[in-house]
Structure 1
Amino acid sequence: MTAAKGFLAAGVHAGIRSSQADLAVVRSLAPAVGAALFTRNRVQAAPLMVSKAHLAEADPQAVVINSGVANAATGVRGELDAVATAAEAARLLGLAAEEVLVLSTGVIGVPLPLEKVTAGLALAVPALSVDGGADAATAIMTTDTKPKQAVVARDGFIVGGMAKGAGMIHPELATMLAVLTTDYPLAADEADSFLRPAVDVSFNRISVDGECSTNDAVVLLANGAGGCARDDVSFAAALREVCADLGAQIVADGEGATVLIEIEIAGAASEADATAIARRIATSPLVKTAAFGRDANWGRVLAAAGSAPSNGGFAKL
């Protein structure tokens, strides 16, 4: 999480949960640019709406994530609490409120205990360090059984990240959060163009239970502190690799999961068709039960593939 130059992180116990660390902060020391992608669920949590507004105003320099409470379906109070969280973090970090993104994960419909979050921020900000990545990755866990981090080093730059997710996992971005950091140099208007395709071939192609959540987000912060020459092809590949690694960790840690399946489609008429077929297979209860029972019942795979919304191409089978 903090392998890239110029990034600090911390994870602390704010008291939102009974004993587990539940508040994480990630901060770039060098001026950063950033982008974020959010769940397509039409019910969106308050922190997502606030973070979207902040992204429209400024480049993100820090991310605050709490676990235990989703701050979703909490009305006006929820939005005010998310705004207050960003404002307090900004005050402690010496940033503008719009430079702080806020994310939450946990139980839907429960108000954010703002006083605990505020107290937690007072602990987390002084604890920020280059060694804080593991603590931050632990603090964002909910039903996860293990923290999830990944890092890829290339000649002159590093891409790192952390993620959480184990249940309510299904494209497009379902109960999962990820923060990606890099010291590769990007212009303010470039971050989204690199993040979007990387997410599309990784986080948006995983599924555990077919359920889509209200809180999910992937955030990319890039501060250019590595000082390397531009090699956009290498950077794009490294970003995809980190996203794919984190996505695989999420699926492997799925609630109740005992089997990890990777689906590869060949010979489809288009990438869109291939994706549709793969998703249909991945979400088939019959395919899942066959995999759980270690039963190589390929007929179930074929039946699922044939029911996908695609242009066919099955006549040769």
Structure 2
Amino acid sequence: MSVTAPRGFEAAGVAAGLKATGKPDVAVVVNRGPLKTGAAVFTSNRAKANPILWSQQAIADGVVEAVVLNSGGANCFTGPFGFQTTHQTAERAAELLGVSAGDVLVCSTGLIGTGDEVFRAKVLAGTAEAIATLSADGGDDAAHAIMTTDTVAKTSTLAGDGWTIGGMAKGAGMLAPGLATMLVVLTTDAVLDAAQADAHLRAATRVSFDRLDSDGCMSTNDQVTLMASGASGVEPDPTAFRAALAEVCTSLAIQLQCDAEGASHDISIEVIHAASEDDAVEVGRSVARNNLFKAAVFGNDPNWGRVLAAIGTTGADFDPYAVDVSMNGVRVCSDGGPDRPRDEVDLTPRATHVLIDLKVGDASATVYTNDLTHDYVHENSAYAS
């Protein structure tokens, strides 16, 4: 049931005609309370879509009654008309739910730079239809309605000590951090105030969505929202709740990685013995964004020299001539030189693990990425056609 697994939530997903396929394209998730706590993190791209501009204002008071999401159109770079469309979407949902428009967040995903009266009419009609069909069993329908190039819906749930967390996500491309590069809705029936929700969400995204760097491209529409209904009546242990939320977010992030556009390898880049966590992330990300390395993995070539060349561009504290690199369990580089023969490395499985030992400290981090394939280039060259 994803976002409706926790008590106090209803959801729906409907087909409003935004997608040429006729598949569901408008989703609504509503918090029935008794608490209406909310927190959200957004893309740090300076080019922000109209729903981001609206939601950043709406979340300021830490109250969220509902989230309206549409696929089939990003409503980005559509001028004043586009912002009015987002505003009217929140107003329509608020009117039908009997709440304030300022407590309704809006999310959109799809092609940038398109939007007209027909688009607006379909979004508004879809919002009304979704609200009319809200149910405690509607989480899966909502998860399918936010898909674009996704091939599967992404959902996750986790039961805690008297409370539950649920989540849904969409994303199959433009997965790079800053702060969260996809659309995600998280729900919980735990008792949280706005400050707690914000702190837990930022801590969880930092070690999950922020570590997903599929293609190094940052979107304009990315938003992760957490809503807490308090319907369980349980105030969770902060440490346990934060760990559980991070687990749900990591599950969703891995699902996004595994559905990345055109990918044939899911690559986990684990950096150990770094001087700091920031150094570990910087090193891992430098490899994740290196097209030569990603192309080599696509060709099943354990070219560890490209790993060293990539990390040498960072400002992290390490000696490149002391680094070890292992690929799928085979140490191919030791102390900056050749170790085991390359032909011992099997890169034919989809799951690919790269271990980089910097040998300077105790910090570690893992960054998740994918290979660079012909299918990725084709899919993104024909995206708007």
TM-score exceeds 0.5? yes
Please say if 1:184 is aligned against 2:187: no
**Paired residues, what number?**
317
Aligned match of 1:307 = 313
More displaced stretch, 75-84 vs 173-182: 173-182
Aligned match of 1:161 = 167
Aligned match of 1:209 = 215
More displaced stretch, 48-57 vs 295-304: 295-304
Q: For 1:135-284, what aligned pairs fall within 5 Å after superposition?
A: 135-173=141-179, 175-284=181-290
Unaligned runs of at least 5 residues, structure 2: 323-334, 336-385
Preserved contact between residue 174 and residue 213 of structure 1 (Cα < 8 Å): no
> 1:173, CA displacement in angstroms?
4.1
- What secondary structure does 1:71 align onto? coil
> 1:57, CA displacement in angstroms?
4.2
Could you say which structure has the larger radius of gyration?
2
> 1:228, CA displacement in angstroms?
2.1
Matches of 1:129 and 1:22 in 2, distance apart?
17
Counterpart of 2:29, as a letter, is V
> 1:230, CA displacement in angstroms?
2.7
Unaligned runs of at least 5 residues, structure 1: none
Aligned counterpart in structure 2 of residue 8 of structure 1, from 3, 10, 14: 10
Preserved contact between residue 42 and residue 180 of structure 2 (Cα < 8 Å): no
> 1:54, CA displacement in angstroms?
1.0
Matches of 1:43 and 1:2 in 2, distance apart?
32
Counterpart of 2:84, as a letter, is L
Matches of 1:270 and 1:118 in 2, distance apart?
48
CA deviation map 1:3-42 (0-9, x unaligned): 1111111000011112111000000111321110000111
Please say if 1:28 is aligned against 2:31: yes
Counterpart of 2:263, as a letter, is A
Q: For 1:48-197, what aligned pairs fall within 5 Å after superposition?
A: 48-57=52-61, 59-111=63-115, 113-173=119-179, 175-197=181-203
Matches of 1:313 and 1:36 in 2, distance apart?
39
CA deviation map 1:217-266 (0-9, x unaligned): 00000111112243111100000001001011111100001111111111
Matches of 1:90 and 1:223 in 2, distance apart?
18
Aligned counterpart in structure 2 of residue 47 of structure 1, from 33, 46, 51: 51
> 1:58, CA displacement in angstroms?
5.4
Q: % of aligned pairs identical? A: 50
> 1:297, CA displacement in angstroms?
2.1
Counterpart of 1:187, as a letter, is D
More displaced stretch, 51-60 vs 238-247: 51-60
Counterpart of 1:27, as a letter, is V
Preserved contact between residue 182 and residue 223 of structure 1 (Cα < 8 Å): yes
More displaced stretch, 169-178 vs 43-52: 169-178
Matches of 1:281 and 1:261 in 2, distance apart?
10
